[in-house]
Amino acid sequence: MRTTLARPPRIRRTQRMALALLLLGCTLNYVDRSTLAIANPLVRQDLGFSIAEMGLLLSAFLWAYAAGQLPGGAMVDRFGPRLMLGAGMALWSIAQGVAGFVGNFAQFAAARAFLGLGESAQFPGSVRVVRDWFNIGDRGLAIGIYNSGSKLGPAIAPPLLTALMLPLGWRWMFVIMGAVGVLIAMLWYALYRNVAEVALSPEETAYLNQGEEPARPRVTFAEWRRLFAYRATWGMIFGFFGEVYMGWVYQAWLPGYLEIQHHMSIGKTGFVAAIPWVFGVLGSVIGGNLADRLVRRGWAPITAYKLPIVIGLSGMASFTLLAALMTDVTAAMLCITIAVFASGICGAVCWGLASVVAPRNLTGSLGSIQNAGGYVGGALGPTVTGFVVQATGSFVPALLVSAVIGYAGALVYLIVVPNRPIIIKAHGSVTASAAAD
């Protein structure tokens, strides 16, 4: 049984404030990603885009987001999450507002690409905040709480964005959300402080450093590059590919699925599409809490994080497969809801895995490398789904492909990611016990 030191009062206050801001930022992050999915029918009608073109447009954000992960995570570790999360949120919010003024496919794709670049620092920055301010035995639940924004955002986005879009039009919906984001970016920068900017007491330092390696200097390029020599890194890249591919099939196409496959009205899809994401919030908190409980019971941290990931990914794939076979909309939505619940379990703990696998000063970097691989899958998901639906007139083949990719991702996490952390000495050298595998 692992005993976690008590949290000093100031640390507890800082944790609560940081988690509240991270949850707000992550929720906004996913609401802003959802704007085009919600506006899909009206944008197609207004600008004359085909279903396949919408798939490409939905993916424009994701390709830029994936590309921004590698420099984004390294910059978080280099300059700290206070600056990088604030600047990233401001950039993506400005891009969101600009999307309300576009007139053709190229302009819309450019706005979505800058949205992706701005958002690329959010999750690497968030996991670095938790690594900096939480004891190793308290991180799982913390990551589950802020990561629940990735499910809370899609849950509130359909009713919220539909309520803005139907009376004001899709263009004003983009402009309003952009303005809200700029205000939240200012709030983050004003309130949050990096751990290096705070004079810690010995008691506070002991809590943060329990079970950890000593504090390290800021990341160097040689150390960052060295991460790619490890089997764990590549396992996390390809495993997360499966989780994000499946997640973005639902994120980008669930309203379209209900409209095209089950002939729902735009107004009704705005509420029905929110249901699965409510349960995704619950799954995210449960997954993080499960990882913490296993660590406190004495499980090796990496094993404690891998178990919920494999369970969540397998469950997501299984219920996506069942959803593809259902012809009744109620039965299909029940399966999709369970799949998104399982996604919540998996997605939160995937980010937590980076905090126990990576060296302390490379947490954001490894998280962003994993996320880059994941969002190659995320970019392919909407594109492949759009072309398959246009070619077949049905979402069934697209959901079957998604399920197979999910099962493959679960196997990668189980088999490829080893149960030992990456250990890199200063200047990029490696200890004998942790030689690149």
The per-residue pLDDT for range 237-278, each reduced to its tens digit, is: 999 999 999 998 998 788 888 888 888 877 777 678 888 988
Chain center to CA of 228: 21
The answer to the question of residue 341 being in a domain is yes
**433 pLDDT exceeds 60?**
no
Q: Are 46 and 170 in contact (CB under 8 A)?
A: yes
59-62: list long-range contacts, CB under 8 Å, 24+ apart. 59/379, 59/380, 59/382, 59/383, 60/108, 60/109, 60/112, 60/113, 60/116, 61/33, 61/36, 61/112, 61/113, 61/115, 61/116, 61/119, 62/116, 62/248, 62/375, 62/378, 62/379, 62/381, 62/382
The answer to the question of residue 168 being in a domain is yes
Helix, strand or coil for residue 125? helix
> E strands along 294-386, which residues?
none
Mean pLDDT of the 3-9 span: 78
The pLDDT confidence band at residue 434, using thresholds 50, 70 and 90, is very low
**Distances in whole angstroms, Cα of residue 92 to Cα of each of 74, 112, 184, 305, 380:** 19, 9, 12, 31, 21
Instruction: Please give the pLDDT value at position 431.
Output: 44
The answer to the question of residue 213 being in a domain is yes
Instruction: Please give the pLDDT value at position 56.
Output: 83
Q: Which residue type is seen at 326?
A: M
Tens of pLDDT, residues 144-198: 899 899 889 988 888 899 899 999 999 999 999 999 999 999 999 999 999 889 9
Tens of pLDDT, residues 392-408: 989 999 999 999 999 99
Chain center to CA of 222: 27
Q: Are 437 and 263 in contact (CB under 8 A)?
A: no
The answer to the question of residue 1 being in a domain is no
Give the containing element (helix H, strand E) for 430. Answer: none
Tens of pLDDT, residues 119-131: 999 988 998 999 8
The answer to the question of residue 312 being in a domain is yes
Instruction: Please give the pLDDT value at position 430.
Output: 45
Distance between CA 431 and CA 49 in Å, rounded? Answer: 55
Instruction: Please give the pLDDT value at position 435.
Output: 43
398-401: list long-range contacts, CB under 8 Å, 24+ apart. 398/249, 398/253, 399/249, 399/320, 399/321, 399/323, 399/324, 400/321, 400/324
The pLDDT confidence band at residue 426, using thresholds 50, 70 and 90, is low
Q: Which residue type is seen at 431?
A: T
Sole residue written with tokens 């197979």 = 404
**428 pLDDT exceeds 50?**
no
**429 pLDDT exceeds 70?**
no
User: How many separate domains does the chain show?
Assistant: 1
Q: Are 70 and 372 in contact (CB under 8 A)?
A: yes
The answer to the question of residue 3 being in a domain is no
The answer to the question of residue 86 being in a domain is yes
Mean pLDDT of the 310-332 span: 94
pTM, to two decimals: 0.77
The answer to the question of residue 298 being in a domain is yes
Helix (H) and strand (E) counts for the chain?
17, 0
Most confident of 151-160, 273-282, 308-317, 385-394: 308-317
Instruction: Please give the pLDDT value at position 125.
Output: 92
- The residues, any chain, with a CB within 8 Å of residue 120's CB and separated by 6 or more, are 64, 65, 67, 68, 69, 72, 88, 368
Q: Are 270 and 37 in contact (CB under 8 A)?
A: no
Mean pLDDT of the 195-213 span: 83
Mean pLDDT of the 61-68 span: 86
Summary mean pLDDT of the chain: 88
Instruction: Please give the pLDDT value at position 257.
Output: 87
**Could you tell me the CATH number of the domain that includes residue 224?**
1.20.1250.20
**425 pLDDT exceeds 80?**
no
**Nearest 5°: phi and psi at 109?**
-60, -40
Domain range spanning residue 332? 9-434
Helix, strand or coil for residue 263? coil
Instruction: Please give the pLDDT value at position 176.
Output: 97
Most confident of 220-224, 229-233, 272-276: 229-233
Instruction: Please give the pLDDT value at position 3.
Output: 65
The pLDDT confidence band at residue 336, using thresholds 50, 70 and 90, is very high
Instruction: Please give the pLDDT value at position 361.
Output: 78
Helix, strand or coil for residue 305? helix
* Total residue count of the chain as it appears in this document: 437
